Amino acid sequence: ENFLQKTSAPFSTNSYEAFIPLNTLNLSSFTKLMKKLQETHPEASRDKIVDALLEVKKNNKGILSGLPISSIMERTSAIL
């Protein structure tokens, strides 16, 4: 995990609005999403954030791909 944090690109507002690739939520997008959610919800544990993301996925017919990161953020924040 530390390796990923050291090698990932800084999170910018432009990438925040980018669409997640249609085929998958790739590791880079997931890392950026987790970082932003942890910044937005410092009181929430990593496990709680992952559980909320899984609930968003379940509520979206079992997929996150194709959703804008901003939409995933909003839906996850509503659950948290």
Annotated domain spans of the chain? 31-78
Q: What is the pLDDT along the chain (80 residues), one digit of tens a residue?
A: 434 444 444 444 444 444 444 444 566 888 889 999 999 999 999 999 999 999 999 999 998 888 898 999 999 999 99
Q: Which residues contact 53 (CB under 8 A, 6 or more apart)?
A: 33, 37, 64, 72, 76
H/E stretch holding 48: helix 46-59
67 phi/psi in degrees, rounded to 5: -85, 140
The whole-model pTM stands at 0.65
* Burial tier of 16 (Cβ tally within 10 Å: 0-12, 13-18, 19+): middle
Spatial distance between the Cα atoms of 11 and 7, rounded to a whole number of angstroms: 12
